[in-house]
A and B are shown apart, each in its own frame.
Chain A
């Protein structure tokens, strides 16, 4: 008898079906890349949304994209503006990458980032990047690529995050943007003739772009920033006018505080010698010589990089956060005034553990 009632209720459900708006997979416009430009004239954000076009069967994968643009002061408004152009319902739940133009980042992204954070649809494991020039031109150009544009940008940033640059997804960006004693950084995408590539890392002070480090310094930065692996480093041995490549580098990084004004960033690197054109490493003495030369070179380069950071008063290496966890009386204001003066010493030791297959 009781169960009978329950089935009756289930029947009621049937009758009352359809109270929620559906988002059927093939009947929505899936925005996969969102680019934002700043229009100084109207003081509005200009959003460029890229959605993929899928073919009717797997064989006929088109790899084509549709672009929509909208201009407004808030993200939701941009979305509804875009809706006026799109045939299907615009959905932002599948965004893979968010791009900001250089202008926008120089002016500050905090507002738009908070708008993005407020949308529950948007994930946190998505890539954030800066584009050199307008995002509109970068996203509107037709490229010849196997993947759709959105997937291309996603894969480009994701695979480089494994080797060349540190990983920076939306969550990590937020973490650094909001947290004390740290500053975020973002990869800068550049439009080349036929494709897109990662040109530099943009260092930010709070939410504004202040500095960019080129490809040559990626390795040094990553070394000082986190433990890393699977990296290659090209070492120019000036004394012997020789170029050596070192690959499969594994490094461990740690911060040691000597006193309140003195800190050592220690990085131990283990690598494999792969391309040594003229001579191999055959004796212990030779090995030691090479190791010391590499360490010395890296130390110098690191010192330079850290100095730049201190001059710009930015802290992408999260030294401030480390100080905060070390000293009880840490406070933000004091730290910010102190930061340019403290001595940060990089202590880098390099060790070879394997040689290449060719003697």
Chain B
């Protein structure tokens, strides 16, 4: 295995995994996931959140095993297991997926901004500015991307406080009786939930950028647990605030909840909330964008800068094709399926393959 060693100025401390993983996971999903999971598992869906949280924690541990002491990243492992050409092809598919997520997150948030703020906005120009911003962050290198994610976590944390309204005005009765949904539905609800917890697969790409990667496991796991807790409380709040029939009528329950919050100077918090939540969206999108570019950069001979600018242009032009809300929903659904397969199917498989391959190669080396 020939290892990739990034520039030391771009590396970050393992403690920051707490923020990176959390920022990747929290995106547009937190505004609407309650409806998706409640549709399948009713108001017992909070169990699915916990189950998904536990399952993803296992995936995090598996990722740590795959990466190993050598801090090998996805590209290295792929090439190690599947050979140069096929490995590169797999990495290429994977990076396409990352790039698609990066853009979908943006486009689906632009949809919210269009509905709430400016129905007549020129989305092409808006998208252009956002992609420029992402490019500006990404070209600064991994340290800058993480820095942005770091600040975004404080913003989402601040916004999470405003769910308090649901606890004061809601009805706890909505959650009772517990375990009234068949276990099968609870398991099924893990699928839309796992889309909300996607983001840990990126660890495979930025692993070499973390100092003392092995000591970062505790931070990554705590981050995953923290995200689960955030989702859990968010779901409890929304379930208390809306009843099971009501929630199905509402596209973004959290935004509707913010409508009720007012302060002496701010009458409708949702306008502030949507604006601030965009920071989290950009952070997520940017992490995915950076990871995707890193993959492309590693498997080709282009510089990071060139490939980023090229892909940014593709990203901007992509909005000419996906401007219909049904297409966005379709893409989101497809990506969530892919993400789930990747998380719970491909990564464990990769672990097994890696074990076998390293075993075989060791044997060869001994001979």
Contacts and interface: CB of A to CB of B under 8 A. Distances in A.
Interface in B105-153: 115-116, 118, 120-122, 125, 129, 132, 136, 139
A341 interface: no
B259 interface: yes
Interface stretch (B5-13, B16-24, B71-79, B173-181): B173-181
Contact of B120 (A16, A21, A321): A21
Given A9-B129, A325-B177, 4 more contacts: A6-B136, A175-B243, A180-B245, A328-B177
B118 A174 contact: no
Contacts of B118: 20-21
A124 B136 CA distance: 38
B260 interface: yes
Contacts of B171: 321
B268 interface: yes
Nearest to A125: B260
B306 to A, nearest CB: 14
A359 B118 CA distance: 65
Interface of A: 2, 6, 9, 13, 16, 19-21, 93, 117, 120, 123-125, 169, 171, 174-175, 178-180, 321-322, 324-328
A16 B245 CA distance: 45
Given A6-B136, A178-B243, A325-B174, A124 B125 contact: no
B246 A19 contact: no
Interface of B: 115-116, 118, 120-122, 125, 129, 132, 136, 139, 171, 173-177, 180, 242-246, 249, 256, 259-260, 262, 267-268
Shortest Cβ-Cβ A-B pairs, 5 listed: A325-B176, A179-B243, A325-B173, A124-B259, A19-B122
Given A325-B173, A325-B176, A123 B243 contact: no
B249 A117 contact: yes
Contacts of B262: 125
Given A6-B136, A21-B118, A120-B115, A174 B246 contact: yes
Contacts of B174: 321, 325
A327 B243 contact: no
Given A120-B115, A175-B243, A125 B173 contact: no
A16 B122 CA distance: 11
Contacts of A20: 118, 120-122
A240 B129 CA distance: 79
A80 to B, nearest CB: 14
Contacts of A171: 256, 259-260
A124 B268 CA distance: 9
A325 B171 CA distance: 11
B180 A328 contact: yes
Given A19-B125, A321-B171, A179 B245 contact: yes
B44 to A, nearest CB: 11
Contact of A179 (B129, B175, B246): B246
Contacts of A174: 246, 249
